Structure 1
Amino acid sequence: MRDHSTRLALIQMLVDGAFHSGEELGEALGISRAAISKHMKVLRSWGLDIYRVQGKGYCLSGQFELLDEAKIAALVACPSLNVIPVIDSTNQYLLERVGQLPKGAVCLAEYQAAGRGRRGRQWLSPFGSNLYLSMYWRLDAGMAAAMGLSLVVGVALAETLQSFGAADVKVKWPNDLYYQDKKLAGILVEMTGQAGDAAHLVIGMGLNIAMPEHEGESIGQAWTNLTEACGALPGRNALAASLIERLQRTLEDYEEKGLEGFLDRWNRLDNYLDRPVRLLIGNREVEGVARGINAQGALLLETVDGLVPFIGGEISLRGC
């Protein structure tokens, strides 16, 4: 893993939101002003909004709370917790260590160089703007028991955010959180295992907290931040701890009750319940009214042919 200690030390110095001269930063880190300038270019490529004013130095455009492993661990019991500031992918980190991890192991990052969403799409992951969190979970009941798991995770995330004051956060089938019809978070569940054996799951989430507008220009759909959904934004460490705790509890409930135990909770949170929608299935488009989900996690769509369940594959849900 590449050493980013100098760049992370620079961020620690800049996170107070004050100006720091290149000379001051260089002296503190034992490097030249030219080296500081090169490091600043990399930090900007990570999505940090750093500007420079002649005679004053470098400054972050806004303050934010860095993730702190000790602070999170003090707030929630977790069998294994790793905060890795710069990583390719939190999901991939856990997937590569499945055989070595305790159930409930968590990895968080400030920046993902290769974050991914569903269908191999890139998940935009600028440094410090959002929350990137993955958890490992073992389902002894096997792979078939994981049906609908992303729906259950969505319920857990939405209920957590509502507890922080984001009352209008909703779930969108099968793996997103929405606020005012804009994407707020995405969920990616990846699974390994063999038929007849336990299922090894890595559950990843990316939550937009305060992503700058210019960073999201390449996103191909309407999106929003938790700053818009919450009256008072929670600290990132407290939020991470609450999400971990709620997710642990929810997965334990899921093992006991299955998806059926979450149907009412999902329907209370469903962004498109009883609304006209379009389902995009490859080149085919189906219109109807969303009527929630069934016990298998299928989306129920009321069409001219009656109530039809849709599940899996390359299906995208859109409002009309």
Structure 2
Amino acid sequence: MKEHTIKLTILKTLAEGGFHSGEELGEQFGVSRAAISKHIKGIQEWGVDIYRVQGKGYQLAQPMQLLDEKVLSAQFGALVELIPVIDSTNQYLLDKVDSLESGAVCVAEYQAKGRGRRGREWVSPFGANLYMSMFWRLDAGMAAAMGLSLVVGVAIVEALEKLGLEGVKLKWPNDLYYQDRKLAGILVEMSGQAGAAANLVIGTGMNLMMAEQTEGITQPWASLKEVAGTDSIDRNKLAISLITALHNALTDYELYGMRGFVERWNRLDNFLDRPIKLIMGPREITGICRGINEQGAVLLETENGVESFIGGEISLRDNAN
């Protein structure tokens, strides 16, 4: 963290708006203009678009609102920790499960090694999105965690709706979609022993203001700014809303399980009553999506009737095939 202090302070200065010369920034930090130039390059490697105009200095290509630990702490106290630059918010909590209070949250501005489901990379540019993980101790054990990613997805979409953001849907088992493009992903990781409480880490990565030419993403994606119709998304307010929603949903899940969540999921199912393809390793099953059941399984209407499946991945079937 210490090695990033100057970069983060430069970013805070640039986020205030306007041009800032290398000389001005150098005087502020007691370093040379060449050192400032080196720090700027490091910031650009985090995915931040900064341009330089001769005689004026450096400016952010797009406005940036930084997360504010004071704002988050005022709401949640020591439960929330902001680490601007991190390898992975999930891994950070997984490494500390023995010392964490249930409900502890790690939020970041940038992940160097963000990951999604099945070990895929999650592209995580600085300040453009929301990267957040919550630790939860599930006393009922790992077997009781089935369907948890569905509950988390419902909670997040409903939180967005309370903020007036409509049209976000769910893709079984762990994605948020907007207009058939991925908006956010959920990654639930568990540790624990049979017969003991399960240690859960629930990670969420949501695209907020991604640059259109972001490299490394291989599937259609959307940003929350499209849903909101504006670039001015209050990231602190959003983080507070999502943390609150997750805490409430996980508390309900501990008490009641999937009861009540099935109907809420089916209302938001992006593929409900649409032709889909379920990919389970080398096997592909096609049919019409009929939502989920109380075990969290996806329901697929095939030539054999309505069948339930607990594993696999969904992809929308090409109607031309």
**Which residue identity is paired with 2:223?**
N
Contact 1:52 1:58 in 2 (8 A): yes
Matched letter for residue 17 of structure 1: G
* Shift in Å, 1:247: 0.6
Equivalent position SS for 1:220: coil
Secondary structure at the aligned position of 1:114 is classed as coil
- Provide the TM-score with structure 2 as the length reference: 0.96
Determine the C-alpha separation between the residues in 1 that align with 2:143 and 2:260.
Answer: 17
- Runs (5+) with no aligned partner, structure 1: none
- TM superposition score normalised by structure 1: 0.96
Residue 290 of structure 1: aligned partner:
289
Return the alpha-carbon distance in structure 2 between the equivalents of residues 59 and 211 of structure 1.
18
CA distance in 1: counterparts of 2:152 and 2:266, whole angstroms: 14
Indicate if the aligned counterparts of 1:211 and 1:225 stay in contact, CA closer than 8 A. Answer: yes
Shift of 1:231: 3.8
Counterpart position of 1:43: 43
**Letter aligned with residue 129 of structure 1:** A
Query: 1:17 and 1:289 mapped to 2: Cα distance?
Result: 50
Any residues of structure 2 matched to 1:186-205 within 5 Å, and which?
Answer: 186-205=185-204
Counterpart of 1:66, as a letter, is L
Secondary structure of the 1:214 match is coil
Please say which of residues 157-166 and 205-214 is displaced more in the overlay.
157-166
The residue identity in structure 1 corresponding to 2:228 is: C
182-191 or 17-26: bigger deviation: 17-26
Q: Deviations over 1:228-274 (max 9, x none)?
A: 01145541001100111111000001011101221010011111111
- Is the Cα contact below 8 Å between 1:178 and 1:185 reproduced in 2? yes
Aligned pair count reads: 316
Distance in 1, matches of 2:108 and 2:248, equals 22
Give the aligned residue type for 2:62.
Answer: G
Aligned to 1:151: 150
Counterpart of 1:47, as a letter, is G
Q: Equivalent pairs: percent with the same residue?
A: 61
Deviations 1:92-127 (A, max 9, x none): 110000000001000000000000000111100000
Quote the residue 1:262 is aligned against.
261
Aligned to 2:167: 168
Unmatched segments (≥5 aa) in structure 2: none
Equivalent position of 1:227 in the other structure:
225
Given that residues 20 and 59 in structure 2 are in contact (C-alpha distance below 8 angstroms), is that contact kept between their aligned partners in structure 1?
yes
Query: What is the letter of the counterpart of residue 158 of structure 1?
Result: V
Deviation (angstroms), 1:283:
2.4
Q: Deviations over 1:48-100 (max 9, x none)?
A: 000111111111011121001111222x3355110000000000110000000
Q: 1:79 to 1:104 in 2, by over 3 A?
A: farther
- Structure 1 segments of 4+ aligned residues over 6 angstroms from their partners: none
**1:318 maps onto 2:311 in alignment:** no
